C-alpha cells in the first residue's frame, strides 16, 4: 500500500512516518506540509491512501484538500487525522468524501487498521458517534441537491443567471445591488454543494430554471 502523509507539523509528520515504517506492507511514498503541496505530490506519486491532517494553513484545510484531491484522483482513499471528535467535524468529513476518520490520540495499530480498511474499500470512522449516526450522514450526503432549499429570491437569481443575464442586469431587474446578486449566488452554490459557476448553470438547466417570465 502506497501512503502519503499530510500534516503541517514536521515532528508529527515524521513521527507518523516512523510508525508506518514498522509495517512491511506499507510504503510511505511522499509527505507534505500543506494542502497545496499534497495535491501536487499526489499527482506525482499516485498514493493509494492519504493520511490527511484537518487543520492546515494557507486557506486549504484538510476537508477542502480532500475534496479537490478526490476530484482529481477519485481512486485515492483518504483517512482524516484530527484531534476533534465533535459531530460538526465528522459531518464535514463525510461531506468531503473521506472514507476514514481517526483521532490523533489513537494507537498506532488503529492507524494501520484505518489504512488497511479504507484501502480495501471499507469505511473506518472511530469517533464517539454510533455507526447508525454515521450511516445517516452518509445517506444524507448521497441525496441529490434540491432547488427547494433555495429562497424565492435565490431561485430568481438562478433563473436569470441561466438565461444569461449579467450580475448588473440581474441587479437592475430585481432592484438590488450587484454585490447582493453575488451574495445570492454564493448562497446558492453553498446550499447546493457546488464549486463552480458552470455547475450552478447546469443545475439550473437540469431543474428547468429556463422559463422566461
Topology alike, domains 2-142 and 147-206: no
Q: What is the mean pLDDT of the chain?
A: 88
User: What is the residue extent of each domain of the chain?
Assistant: 2-142, 147-206
Q: What percent of the chain has pLDDT over 90?
A: 54
**Residue 122: CB atoms within 10 Å:** 12
Residues 6+ apart with CB under 8 A from 64: 35, 96
Cα distance between residue 96 and residue 13, in whole Å: 22
Domain 147-206, CATH among 3.40.50.300, 3.20.20.80, 3.10.20.30, 1.10.10.10 = 1.10.10.10
Residues 6+ apart with CB under 8 A from 174: 153, 156, 157, 160, 181
For residue range 116-175, list pLDDT tens digits in order: 999 999 999 988 787 788 888 887 765 555 677 788 899 899 989 988 999 999 999 999
- List the end-to-end C-alpha distance of the chain, in Å, as a whole number: 57
Domain 2-142 has CATH 3.40.50.300: no
Amino acid at each position: 500500500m502506497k501512503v502519503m502523509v499530510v500534516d503541517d507539523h514536521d515532528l508529527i509528520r515524521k513521527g507518523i512516518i516512523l510508525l508506518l515504517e514498522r509495517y512491511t506492507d506499507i510504503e510511505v511514498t511522499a509527505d507534505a506540509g500543506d494542502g497545496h503541496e499534497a495535491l501536487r505530490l499526489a499527482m506525482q506519486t499516485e498514493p493509494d491512501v492519504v493520511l490527511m491532517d484537518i487543520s492546515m494553513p494557507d486557506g486549504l484545510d484538510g476537508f477542502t484538500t480532500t475534496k479537490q484531491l478526490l476530484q482529481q484522483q477519485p481512486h485515492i482513499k483518504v483517512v482524516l487525522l484530527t484531534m476533534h471528535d465533535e459531530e460538526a467535524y465528522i459531518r464535514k468529513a463525510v461531506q468531503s468524501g473521506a472514507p476514514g476518520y481517526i483521532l490523533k490520540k489513537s494507537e498506532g495499530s488503529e492507524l494501520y487498521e484505518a489504512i488497511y480498511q479504507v484501502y480495501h474499500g471499507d469505511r473506518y470512522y472511530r469517533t464517539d458517534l454510533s455507526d447508525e449516526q454515521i450511516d445517516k450522514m452518509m445517506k444524507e450526503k448521497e441525496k441529490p441537491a434540491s432547488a427547494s432549499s433555495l429562497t424565492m429570491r435565490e431561485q430568481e437569481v438562478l433563473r436569470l443567471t441561466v438565461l444569461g443575464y449579467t450580475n448588473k442586469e440581474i441587479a437592475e431587474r430585481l432592484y438590488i445591488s450587484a454585490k447582493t446578486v453575488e451574495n445570492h449566488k454564493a448562497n446558492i452554490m453553498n446550499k447546493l454543494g457546488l464549486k463552480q459557476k458552470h455547475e450552478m448553470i447546469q443545475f439550473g438547466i437540469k431543474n428547468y430554471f429556463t422559463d422566461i417570465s
